[in-house]
Amino acid sequence: MRSYDANNIFAKILRGELPAHKVYEDDETLAFMDIMPRCEGHTLVVPNTPARNLLDANAAQLTACLRTVQKVSLAIGERMRLSPIEMEILSVASLLHDLGKQGVRDEVLFKPGSLTEAERQEMDQHAAYTQSILDMIDYPADLWDVPRIAAYHHEKIDGSGPFGVAGDDIPLAARIISVADVFDALVSARSYKPALPPEEALGKLEGGKGHDWDAAAVDALRAVAGDVLGEIYGIEYDPPRLDRAA
C-alpha cells in the first residue's frame, strides 16, 4: 500500500488549495473497504475521488485506533440495548469517526506536548474534515446518516462542541462514540501523556455527565468497564465495590 504524509492531496483539497473536481491519480471506482476494514459486510463506494491519497496515509496507526474505539462503542451500545440497525450504524460510524485527522499536519497531530491555541484550532477542524470525506461516499439506505454521526463525535451535551449541537440533537450513536473515544484516549498512552488508571478515567467521564457527555452512555461504560478493559485493552480491572455496611 502506498503511503502519503498528512499534507497529502486530499488534505490540500479540504483546505481549498486544490480543486476538488480534479482526479489526481486515476478515475477508477474505489471500493472504500479495500482500504479500511469491512463494516458489517457493507462495501461503501467512493466513486472517482482522490480519497485513496487520504486513506493510505498513516493507515495502520489510524486503523488500530479506530478499531479500538469501535469495539468500546459497540460494548456501550449493546449495554444500552440498541436495536440491530442502530448497532450497525454505530459500528460503521465509530470505525470511520477520525478519518479527518488525515487533514491535520503531522507536526500537530503527533506533537509530544501541549498544543498552542492555533494548533488546537487546527486539530478541532478534523471533525469537519471527517464529514467532508464521508460525504463523498455512497451508503446503503440504512447508513445515510453515518457522515453526520461520525463528525459529531466531539459534540458536547451543553452545546460547546465544534458544531454547537446540544443534547438530544446530537445523534445517540455520536454521543456513544464520544464517550468511547474519550475513554480510549484516557486509558491509552500518547506521545504527550501517560495512560490514566481505569478508575481515574471513568471518574473523569462521570464528572462530565450531563454537560460534556451523555449520562446514559457513561453509565453503560461503567457497567461494562471490566469486560472492556480486559478484552480490548488487556488491563485487569477490579471495579470498586459498593459499601454494603448497614
Residue 241 lies in a domain: no
Asked if the model's pLDDT at residue 230 lies above 60, the reply is yes
Least confident of 74-83, 94-103, 205-214: 94-103
> Contact 157/213 with Cβ under 8 angstroms?
yes
* Nearest-angstrom CA–CA distance, 81 and 216: 11
Asked if the model's pLDDT at residue 72 lies above 70, the reply is yes
The position carrying cell 491519497 is 53
> Residue 48: which CATH number?
1.10.3210.10
Residue 178 lies in a domain: yes
Residue 200 lies in a domain: yes
Report the pLDDT value the prediction gives residue 62, as an integer from 0 to 100.
62
Q: Compute CA distances 161 → 146, 153, 173, whole Å.
A: 18, 9, 16
Please tell me which residue in 12, 22, 71, 101 is annotated as part of the active site: 101
- Return the H-helix or E-strand segment holding 45: strand 45-46
* Per-residue pLDDT band at 17 (split at 50, 70, 90): low
Residue 2 lies in a domain: no
Is the whole-model pTM more than 0.75? Answer: yes
- Mean pLDDT on 116-138: 85
Residue 111 among the catalytic residues: no
End-to-end CA distance of the chain: 63
pLDDT tens figures, 198-228: 999 999 999 999 999 999 999 999 999 999 9
Residue 244 lies in a domain: no
Asked if the model's pLDDT at residue 99 lies above 50, the reply is yes
Residue 186 lies in a domain: yes
Report the pLDDT value the prediction gives residue 165, as an integer from 0 to 100.
97
Report the pLDDT value the prediction gives residue 196, as an integer from 0 to 100.
96
Report the pLDDT value the prediction gives residue 240, as an integer from 0 to 100.
78
pLDDT tens figures, 20-65: 433 333 333 233 333 333 333 444 444 333 344 444 444 555 667 8
Other beta carbons within 10 angstroms of residue 19's beta carbon come to 8
* SS3 of residue 46 by DSSP: strand
Report the pLDDT value the prediction gives residue 142, as an integer from 0 to 100.
85
Report the pLDDT value the prediction gives residue 46, as an integer from 0 to 100.
41
pLDDT tens figures, 138-193: 777 888 999 999 999 999 999 999 999 999 999 999 999 999 999 999 999 887 78
Residue 108 lies in a domain: yes
- Mean pLDDT on 8-18: 47
> Contact 96/130 with Cβ under 8 angstroms?
yes
> Contact 48/29 with Cβ under 8 angstroms?
yes
Residue 238 lies in a domain: no
- Mean of per-residue pLDDT scores for the chain: 77
Number of domains in the chain: 1
| Residue 187: domain span | 9-233
